[in-house]
């Protein structure tokens, strides 16, 4: 076996000895991300506000031999984060990976949205990640550095019919770059993953699913597994020289779906 393959496999797939926090891990993409990181050897603290679902999932994953714990954590509450870090200090004594995945959506136009509704979305999606980075990055730095992955969206690249959600996802991209600059010399990398349509409980009943898939150049939605594999790469040492970047994973939607539609309608494609 060639040495370069051995090094690549170890760097990208082996998280042995690392500790990770994944927020919004009780279901959906966060659940798959937590399982994959744990399956690659990490000890994973799965966090969510959905206590029963999260505890049950952690139990199932432990049954598969994975070293995971569940903890109720509201990403908007600083005290909640501090308590999670206390648990990590007692459990493994280090933190290497943070996946800021928790997110909510409220599909209302600006004209129909109250300030309280706007703030609720911004608080979970943007402020929650800010608090996570603020509290976790110094802990990572103290144990040799680490990797933070913020789950933004391809909505963070355009205007959208979800103005609060879209604004929060643009904010996450700005936060990602700013945090990457602030913590680079402390060995903490910060990147953003920007998925397109992934069918989960967040959007399962949305009338937008079919038109979104139709507009997606690859003509399908993405899978939570596919997002988790990108998160794993960014969490791992295989991405060791990457920080402050956005990674769009959307079947070509952001790459040029609008121009592709024009080409289709004019008979070019």
Ligand X SMILES: NC(=O)c1ccc[n+]([C@@H]2O[C@H](COP(=O)([O-])OP(=O)(O)OC[C@H]3O[C@@H](n4cnc5c(N)ncnc54)[C@H](O)[C@@H]3O)[C@@H](O)[C@H]2O)c1
Question: Do residues 124 and 75 lie in contact, with contact meaning Cβ atoms separated by under 8 Å?
Answer: yes
For the stretch 107-111, contacts whose Cβ atoms lie closer than 8 Å and that sit 24 or more positions apart, written own/partner, are 107/161, 107/162, 107/165, 107/206, 108/163, 108/164, 109/161, 109/163, 110/163
Q: Determine whether 161 is an active site residue.
A: no
Q: In the complex, which residues of this chain contact ligand X (CB under 6 A)?
A: 23-24, 26-30, 48-50, 73-76, 101-104, 124, 128, 151, 153, 195, 197-198, 200-203
Cβ 4 to ligand X shortest distance, Å: 33
* Other Cβ atoms closer than 10 A to 107: 16
Cβ 7 to ligand X shortest distance, Å: 31
Which CB atom, from 140 or from 198, has the smaller least distance to ligand X? 198
Cβ 6 to ligand X shortest distance, Å: 33
Distance CA 34, CA 13 (A): 14
* Other Cβ atoms closer than 10 A to 224: 20
Which CB atom, from 104 or from 141, has the smaller least distance to ligand X? 104
Indicate the SS3 state at residue 22: strand
Which CB atom, from 5 or from 154, has the smaller least distance to ligand X? 154
Q: What is the largest CA-CA distance in the chain?
A: 63
Which CB atom, from 106 or from 264, has the smaller least distance to ligand X? 106
Which CB atom, from 74 or from 226, has the smaller least distance to ligand X? 74
Structure token digits, residue 193: 């993953």
- In the set 70, 130, 157, 165, the catalytic residue is 165
Cβ 93 to ligand X shortest distance, Å: 24
- Cα angle: 141, vertex 150, 127; to 5 degrees: 90
* C-alpha torsion angle, residues 180, 182, 188, 193 (rounded to 10): -20
Distance CA 86, CA 93 (A): 9
Cβ 132 to ligand X shortest distance, Å: 10
- How many residues are given for the chain? 269
Q: Which residues are catalytic?
A: 165
């Amino acid at each position: 076996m060639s040495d370069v393959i051995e090094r690549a496999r170890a760097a990208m797939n082996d998280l042995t000895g690392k500790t990770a926090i994944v927020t919004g891990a009780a279901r959906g993409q966060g659940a798959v991300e937590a399982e994959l990181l744990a399956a690659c050897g990490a000890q994973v603290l799965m966090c969510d506000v959905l206590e029963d679902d999260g505890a049950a999932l952690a139990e199932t994953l432990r049954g598969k031999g994975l070293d995971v714990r569940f903890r109720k954590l509201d990403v908007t509450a600083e005290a909640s984060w501090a308590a999670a870090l206390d648990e990590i200090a007692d459990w493994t004594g280090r933190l290497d990976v943070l996946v800021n995945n928790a997110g909510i959506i409220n599909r209302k136009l600006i004209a129909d949205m109250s300030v309280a509704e706007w703030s609720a979305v911004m608080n979970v999606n943007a402020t929650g990640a800010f608090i996570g980075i603020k509290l976790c990055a110094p802990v990572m730095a103290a144990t040799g550095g680490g990797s933070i992955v913020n789950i933004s969206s391809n909505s963070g690249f355009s205007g959208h019919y979800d103005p609060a959600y879209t604004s929060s996802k643009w904010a996450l991209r700005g936060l990602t770059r700013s945090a990457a600059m602030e913590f680079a010399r402390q060995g903490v990398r910060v990147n953003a993953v920007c998925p397109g349509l992934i069918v989960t409980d967040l959007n399962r009943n949305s009338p937008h699913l079919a038109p979104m898939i139709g507009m997606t150049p690859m003509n399908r939605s993405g899978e939570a597994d596919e997002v988790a594999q990108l998160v794993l790469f960014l969490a791992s040492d295989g991405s060791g020289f990457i920080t402050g970047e956005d990674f769009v994973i959307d079947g070509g939607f952001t790459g040029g779906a609008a121009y592709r539609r024009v080409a289709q309608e004019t008979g070019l494609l």
